[in-house]
Structures are given as C-alpha cells and as structure tokens.
Chains A and B, each alone.
Chain A
Amino acid sequence: MKKNPNKAMSLSIIPGLGQYYNGQKLKAGIFLGAFVIFVIEMIFFGGAALKGLFTLGTVPMRDHSMFLMVKGTLQLLISVIFIMFYVLNLRDGRKVAQEINAGHEVPISFKEMYHSLGTNSFPYLLTMPAYLLMIFTIILPVLVTLFMAFTNYDFDHIPPAQLIDWVGLLNFKNMFFLSTYRATFGAVFSWTLIWTFCATTLQIVLGIFTAVVAHQDFIKFKRVFGIIFLLPWAVPAFVTILSFSNIFNDSAGAINVQVIPFLNKFFFMHLPQINWMTDPLWTKVALIMIQGWLGFPYIYVLVTGILQSISDDLYEAATIDGATALQKFKNITLPAIFSVAAPTFVTQYTFNFNNFSIIYLFNNGGPGDVGGGAGNSDILISWIYKLTTNSTPQYGLASAVTMIISVIVIGVSLLVFKKTNAFKMEG
C-alpha cells in the first residue's frame, strides 16, 4: 500500500501519529509516550523552571536564585533534547513512508522492532553513558557559568538571603572599562600570554633538543638516561612544584643557600642571593624554568618516537648530496616532527594557558598585588580562583573571565586544528 510521505510527516506533528499511519504501532507508542512524558514534565516542573531561569526568583529566602538558575538550565537542556527528538520524529515519518513506497521492508512487529533496535541503536546505547556524563559534568556547568557571567552574583548578593539579578553585559563592561578592573585584567592577561608563550616554547625546544641529542648512535647508557629524562613526568607535578617552592625559598631554599654559593666558590662568580619569592620578576623566571623542567619529558618521548620512525635512507641521501648536519635537521628532522606532533604542541600551549597548579602552588600567584585580588604571577585561571575564594567573592566577574578564557582557548585550538588538518573527520 502506498503512503503519502507529506501526510506522514504532518501527522507526526503529534509524535507517534505519523508512525501509526505508517503501520509501525510499537514505534508510534514509544514516540507518543515520550511526547506525553515531556508535556507532563513541562507542566509540573519545566514551565516553572524556565520561568525561574527568567526571573531568578522574586522572594528572598524562599527563592534561591542560583538553584533556580541550575534547574532552569537543566530544563533548557531537556527542551533542546526534546526538540531534537521532535525533528527526528518528523523526519522519521517522512522517511519511513518513502521507504514503504520504494518497497523496502520496515520493521513493524515487536520482534522485528526489537531486532532492528538491536542493530541500529546499538551505537547510541554504547555512547549513551559518555553523553550522560558529559551533559551533567561539562555542558550543564559551562552553561551555568555562561549565564552567571550576566548576573550580579557577588559577595553583596549571596542567595538565599539576597536575590540575584540579570545585569546584561555589566561584568564585561566593568572588566574592560572600569579603571581598577581594567588595569588588573590587562596586567594578568599580558602575563598569561607571556607565561604561556615562554614556558611552552621552552619545554618544546628543550624536549626536541634533548630527543635529537639523545638519539645519536654512539651514546652509551641510553636506558639510564632515558629513565632519568622521564622522571619529571613520572613524579606527580604537584609534588615537584611544592618541592620547588621550598627549593626557591628566599632564606632556606637550596638555590640561595647551596647552588649560588657553590657557583660563586667554584666558578669564581659573584652572584648575589636572589629574592625568588618576593621579587615579581624572579618569581616569573623561576616559574618558566620549572615548567620547562616539568614539561619537556612529554615532548622528548613523543619526538624520540618520531625520530625512530624516520628512515635512515633520507639522511644518507642527504649526506651524499653534501648537506650539513644543520641542513639535515632543518629539512628532514623538523618537518617530520611537526607533521606528527603539531597538534600536541598546540595542546601544550592551551594547557599552560590554564596551568593553575604551578602558579598557585609555587607562590600562590604572588608576590604583591596588581589590584582586583590578583598577584604579580597570577594568570587568568588562578585569578578566577582568587575571585571566587577571597573574602569578597565576585562570582559574576569570575564567570565573565572564564568565558573569555574559553573563547580564546577554543578559538585558537579550532583555528590551528583546521590549519594543520589534525583530527581528520574520517571513518
């Protein structure tokens, strides 16, 4: 029997009817059931939740603005998922009708449906846990943070005693135009960029250099060196950062008490003791050096793997052509490394852009103060942490900074991934 695809689709405006028209009774029941459940949910919970997201509460103590925001956001997500299902349902009505017309078999009975579900929806079942977890631990919190950036949630507005209100772009405006915050943001942001660039470049250069040097054939005890060079990666970073924070201590740390006197004594230098923890410049220098120490083994391992895969023939041919060692490095080794490791290098930059642990654990973002609660070595992410944990928290402002970070990181990564064509969409 011929079916009218357009009729099936328009019947599906109430999910299930189009499927019933197509003769798929079980599917029709499931679709209609999902629709009814959503409508009921909307009446008893969803409507109020969306309204709460809009008003953020009207009566202090009774309405908790933040809870309303979370519930509203959750409802928003549920609605989006339902809309996706709804569109799918419309398409399904049309597609199945067309298939019937084309003479294809469509599953109708319970048994056939079950079988078809088993093969067609198997992929969805297997990825379901990943999606559920991501929705609750990534999408929902990120959306809530996005919304928070447009509210006045701060120490003056702590729910449930006070209500929170939508304030539009005020937080962003304050950050860019209010002189105190602008100065802080400018200082923190420029140091974040310098930090990201210097620390990451140092670890990449050191990693590549070490890999190339250690790859030479004549070296003895390769295994021993290999283990030593991996140690900074193997020891958990927070342990080493805290140790370094002791080692760089102005009065009792090994650098000032042991290393500098040693250099002065045996190499006839006249180095003064350095105020690692109290001089902003030296704190920054120390941070960059430590990150180089911590981060180079990962690059070293990756590059060593790549070097082993480059064929010796290439080098031999280059030698016969009279290429110098430097030319060979520039024209054979480096391109091979970058063609494989470029995406990893980018992730190293974005990682350091948000490298909270080292900044916070080494010197707590200090020394000193550049306004807005931020210290001299604070990067954006550690500033966010301070904005939300100090005695006068600025949650709205912190969320605005979070959004700025996210846009930067996502923008840069997408750009580079597109350029380098990493993560090809295949298979």
Chain B
Amino acid sequence: MAKQVHTKGKSSIKRTRFFKHFLTYFFMLFLSLIIIYPLLITVMTAFKNSDVVAFTLSFQGPWTLQNFTDLFKTTLYGKWYWNTLVISLATMVIQVAVVTLAGYTYSRYSFAGKKWSLTFFLVVQMVPTMAALTAFYVLGMLLNGLDHYWFLTLIYIGGGIPMNTWLMKGYFDTVPYDFDESAKLDGAGNFTIFWKIVMPLVKPMIAVQALWAFMGPFGDFMTARYLLREEANLTVAVGLQEFISDPKDQQVALFAAGAILIAVPICALFFYLQKYFVTGLTAGGSKG
C-alpha cells in the first residue's frame, strides 16, 4: 500500500492515513456486526421461555434451560442426533479410507488406463447426484434400503468420492517423490512407504477430508428428507426443520436450542482443524 506520498504535505498524509484506517476498521466492524447479530439472536433465544414468539435480539430475561431439557424429554431430538452421528462417523471413516487409497494410487503409480479414468473422475464429479432422487428411491425400494442408514450412508460416501479423490491426488502430488525413492533405497516396502513416509505428510488434507465427510450428513437435507420416512429415523437436519415448518406453531426457542447443540461441536471441530485446511485448500486448489 502507498505509504510514502512525497508530493503531499505531512498533515495531508496523516489525514489520508487516518481515513484509510477509519474506513478499514469501519468496514471490518460493520461486517463483524452483520455476522454476529443473527448468530447471537439464535443463541439468546435458546435460553428464553418456550412461549417466546419474536425472533429478535434481546437481553432481557427470564433465562432458562427448559428448552434443552424439553428437547430430549418431549421430542425425538436425541434420537435424531444419534442417527446423524452414526451416519456421519461411518461416512467419514469409509470415505476417507477409500479416497486416501485412490488418491495415493493416482499420485504414485502409473498404470494402463490412468489418464482415461482420471478424466472419468473429473466428469463424474460434476454430475449433480443429489438430483437423481427418484432413482435413489427406487433403488432403495428394490434393495430394501429405504429408512435404513446403510443406504443413506453409501450414497453420502459415493457422492463425495470423485471430487475428494481429485483433491487427495493433488495433495499427494505435493509430497516429493524423492522421499519415496530414498525410503525404497533403505529397504522400505510399499506399505511402509505409504504408512510411515507419505501419510504423515498429508495429515492436513486427511483432516480436511474427514471434517467435510463428517459435516456432510449434518448439512444434507434433500436426500435424507426423501429417503427416511419414519419420524424416529430422521437425521437432525430434517428433524430440526419440523420445529418451525408449521407457520402457525413455530417453536423458535426449541429450534434455537437444537441448533446450538449442533452448531457448537461442529464449530469447535472446524476451528480446531482450521490451520490444517487452510494449507490443504491452497495447496490442493493451486495444484489440482
């Protein structure tokens, strides 16, 4: 930024600098306000009486934890949360394993059909799979997978594979081949090279992949709504919407309490892994 403006006087430099600082801080504070305001409303509402109607920011009590106890006593929220956790964990573990293997293979081995199949990954990745709802439904009927978690989990895993394999391959590519070569000279086998040499270096990307795979089922609405029918089998995203879907009987306080219990752990995970995926993002994005 232009810090030395020789032609102007000292006071005018000061004035422009003051303006620049003022405008910068003004923008950043204003943006922070816009970000925090809606989130704070939700947080505050969660501790209000359950008969609260207005969804506004107010610091007036009375405060209560009633909404949180109600969630688990009078609704199926606990069950929904558990369902989502099971699906999310399964998706995360399997998807990360599959994608890591495939990404490693595409980065480190050359084999017949490699180029062709990489293009295949790239095109498949663009298909909006979620729009194939009816096909999933019929498939679910045929395989008796409707209302079953394994079916939904498989769909989540499969949908994430093409894009994430690409990202993973891109990240593996950033680990120099020299490491493999020198390990091979030291007598390390394929597995040792993979597990002991390369894996520790791609940990950031694995963390990113794990987080995304884990968050997917928490955020998906369309597929879960369509393939899960029983009230008790819903995921937490679908269930939470039911609290406010009826315009005449919106339970905003209950909704807010449920929202917080989802947002806080995911936020914590997000910020815990943040330093990893900032590097993962730029490295994967630039190399491709």
A residues adjacent to B (C-beta < 8 A): 66-67, 69-71, 120, 122-124, 126-127, 129-130, 133-134, 136-142, 144-145, 148, 153, 210, 213-214, 216-219, 225, 227-240, 242-247, 249, 252-254, 257-258, 293, 301-302, 304-306, 309, 315, 319, 324-325, 340-341, 343-344, 350, 354, 356-357, 360-361, 381, 384-385, 388-389, 395, 398-399, 402, 405-406, 409-410, 413-414, 417, 422-425, 427
Given contacts A126-B109, A406-B127, A425-B115, 13 further A-B contacts (CB under 8 A): A130-B99, A137-B157, A225-B28, A236-B218, A242-B259, A252-B53, A302-B285, A305-B279, A315-B1, A344-B285, A381-B128, A381-B131, A399-B134
B111 touches A137 (CB 8 A): no
Top 9 A-B pairs ranked by shortest CB distance? Answer: A137-B158, A141-B135, A305-B282, A246-B55, A144-B135, A234-B270, A130-B102, A141-B132, A123-B109
Collect the chain B residues with CB atoms within 8 Å of residue A389's CB: 226
**A-B interface pairs (CB < 8 A), number:** 277
Contact with A along B254-288 (1 / 0, CB 8 A): 01100100110011001100100011011001101
- Pick the residue among A219, A253, A356 that contacts B221 (CB under 8 A): A356
B residues adjacent to A (C-beta < 8 A): 1-2, 4, 21, 24-25, 27-28, 31-32, 34-39, 41-42, 53-57, 97-99, 101-102, 104-107, 109, 111, 114-115, 117-119, 122-124, 126-136, 138-139, 141-142, 154-155, 157-159, 161-162, 165-166, 173, 190, 215, 218-219, 221-222, 226, 237, 240-241, 244, 250, 252, 255-256, 259, 262-263, 266-267, 270-271, 274, 278-279, 281-282, 285-286, 288
Query: A8 to B126, alpha carbons, bound, how many Å?
Result: 41
A420 to chain B, nearest CB (A): 10
A124 touches B111 (CB 8 A): yes
A68 to chain B, nearest CB (A): 10
- Pick the residue among A134, A148, A384, A388 that contacts B162 (CB under 8 A): A134
Query: A153 to B244, alpha carbons, bound, how many Å?
Result: 33
A243 touches B259 (CB 8 A): yes
Query: A230 to B41, alpha carbons, bound, how many Å?
Result: 18
B109 touches A122 (CB 8 A): yes
Collect the chain A residues with CB atoms within 8 Å of residue B118's CB: 425
Query: A246 to B38, alpha carbons, bound, how many Å?
Result: 10
A405 touches B219 (CB 8 A): no
B161 touches A242 (CB 8 A): no
Collect the chain A residues with CB atoms within 8 Å of residue B24's CB: 213, 216, 218-219
Collect the chain A residues with CB atoms within 8 Å of residue B263's CB: 235-236, 239
Query: A71 to B255, alpha carbons, bound, how many Å?
Result: 43
B270 touches A233 (CB 8 A): yes
Query: A395 to B142, alpha carbons, bound, how many Å?
Result: 17
Query: A139 to B24, alpha carbons, bound, how many Å?
Result: 50
Query: A239 to B129, alpha carbons, bound, how many Å?
Result: 23
- Pick the residue among A231, A357, A360 that contacts B219 (CB under 8 A): A357
Collect the chain B residues with CB atoms within 8 Å of residue A228's CB: 31-32, 35-36
- Chain A: which residue is nearest B173 at the CB level? A427
A127 touches B219 (CB 8 A): no
Query: A138 to B126, alpha carbons, bound, how many Å?
Result: 11
B101 touches A141 (CB 8 A): no
- Pick the residue among B37, B115, B155, B266 that contacts A235 (CB under 8 A): B266
Query: A127 to B128, alpha carbons, bound, how many Å?
Result: 22
B55 touches A247 (CB 8 A): yes
A293 touches B278 (CB 8 A): no
Known contacts A216-B1, A258-B57, A305-B281, A126 near B101 by CB under 8 Å: yes
- Chain A: which residue is nearest B258 at the CB level? A239
Q: Which of B53, B102, B135, B136 has the most CB of A within 10 A?
A: B135
A360 touches B282 (CB 8 A): no
Collect the chain B residues with CB atoms within 8 Å of residue A252's CB: 53-56, 252
- Pick the residue among A217, A236, A354 that contacts B131 (CB under 8 A): A354
Collect the chain A residues with CB atoms within 8 Å of residue B28's CB: 213-214, 219, 225
B159 to chain A, nearest CB (A): 6
- Chain B: which residue is nearest A358 at the CB level? B221
Collect the chain A residues with CB atoms within 8 Å of residue B38's CB: 240, 243-244, 247, 254
B105 touches A127 (CB 8 A): yes
A356 touches B130 (CB 8 A): yes
B262 to chain A, nearest CB (A): 6
B21 touches A218 (CB 8 A): yes
- Chain B: which residue is nearest A301 at the CB level? B278
Collect the chain B residues with CB atoms within 8 Å of residue A293's CB: 34-35
Known contacts A148-B134, A343-B285, A354-B130, A234 near B221 by CB under 8 Å: no
- Chain A: which residue is nearest B288 at the CB level? A423
Q: Can you list 22 A-B pairs with a CB-CB distance of less than 8 A?
A: A124-B111, A127-B117, A129-B97, A130-B99, A133-B161, A138-B158, A141-B139, A144-B138, A219-B24, A231-B36, A235-B267, A236-B266, A242-B259, A257-B54, A258-B56, A319-B4, A340-B285, A361-B221, A388-B226, A398-B134, A409-B126, A409-B127
- Chain A: which residue is nearest B99 at the CB level? A130
Query: A247 to B54, alpha carbons, bound, how many Å?
Result: 9
- Chain A: which residue is nearest B27 at the CB level? A213
A127 touches B271 (CB 8 A): no
- Chain B: which residue is nearest A121 at the CB level? B111
Query: A304 to B278, alpha carbons, bound, how many Å?
Result: 9
Collect the chain A residues with CB atoms within 8 Å of residue B41's CB: 243, 247, 254
